[in-house]
Chain A
Amino acid sequence: MHSFGHRANAVATFAVTILAAMCFAASFSDNFNTPTPTASVKILNINWFQKEANGNDEVSMTLNISADLSSLFTWNTKQVFVFVAAEYETSQNALNQVSLWDGIIPAKEHAKFLIHTTNKYRFIDQGSNLKGKEFNLTMHWHIMPKTGKMFADKIVMTGYRLPEQYR
């Protein structure tokens, strides 16, 4: 601590060390948040449902997606990535996941939403397994923090079924 440069260096290094500790504490404080998110997805219409030339089933649907994810936001939240996936079981795979829609929520004020949309990404099965198929629509989200660990969670909505016939 005998010279100007030595003291300046000591202040800078100790300040950055403490900054790291503050970031750790901010990330840790996220554990005290107990979010109560809600979500619901309604299938308003099956627009069409067919087998493609390559043998894969594809379905187009109109969805009503509503959710209130504002309780996920804390002071350490940068943004939340959210997507809705159709999830179902086939003889080949215990879990098939097809993302139908996604979005980025940049702030708490935008975390309560209602969206009326056709599926943003194509709902195609790897085969011909969709006739009369029972499936879940699951809302997944990833909370991206300003500092620290990323959290992921989901709400599973059950009891959806595709038509028995192509249309």
Chain B
Amino acid sequence: GMDWQGQKRAEMLMQVLLVAAAVAAFLVGYLRGDFQLMLLVYAGGVVLTALVTVPNWPFFNRNPLKWLDADEAERHPRPQVSAAGAAAGGKKKSGKNK
């Protein structure tokens, strides 16, 4: 899948491109007095946006996650859950069950 930064960028890009396409389409349609032209320009913008932001392009994967190797992780055992953390966790659970 796409990396975290890439997902954020893809969503931003999608929203910016669609809003820009809508503004451009509305202005062209209104100024030319042609409703159908507005729809065509916007449809073009939607297709372009989909092509840019839907596939998992390489430029959405420039910040790959660096996972620890399994044997490296085993050499550093999980820290013990503290008493305070356990209490907070318990509270959360009882709250959810209400």
Contact = CB atoms under 8 A, between A and B. Distances in A.
Interface of A: 1-4, 7-8, 10-11, 14-15, 18-19, 21-22, 25-26, 29, 74-76, 146
B79 interface: no
Contacts, number: 60
B42 A22 contact: yes
Given A26-B38, A75-B33, A76-B35, A14 B26 contact: no
B47 to A, nearest CB: 10
A146 B29 CA distance: 13
B2 A1 contact: yes
Contacts of A18: 18-19, 22
A1 B60 CA distance: 11
B26 A10 contact: no
Nearest to A32: B30
Contacts of A19: 22, 42
B25 A2 contact: no
18 contacts: A1-B2, A1-B10, A2-B1, A2-B7, A4-B55, A4-B56, A7-B10, A7-B53, A7-B54, A11-B46, A11-B49, A11-B53, A18-B19, A19-B22, A21-B22, A25-B26, A26-B38, A75-B33
Main SS of the interface on chain B?
helix
Size bin of chain B's contact surface: 20 to 34
Given A1-B7, A1-B10, A2-B2, A22 B25 contact: yes
User: What are the nearest 10 A-B pairs in CB distance?
Assistant: A1-B7, A75-B33, A15-B46, A7-B54, A18-B22, A2-B1, A8-B54, A11-B50, A1-B11, A146-B35
A25 B22 CA distance: 11
A2 B7 CA distance: 6
Main SS of the interface on chain A?
helix
Nearest to A17: B18
A10 B14 contact: yes
A75 B22 contact: no
A11 B30 CA distance: 24
Interface string B31-74: 01111001000100010011001111000000000000000000
A26 B26 contact: yes
Contacts of A75: 29-30, 32-35
Nearest to B11: A1
B28 to A, nearest CB: 11
A10 B30 contact: no
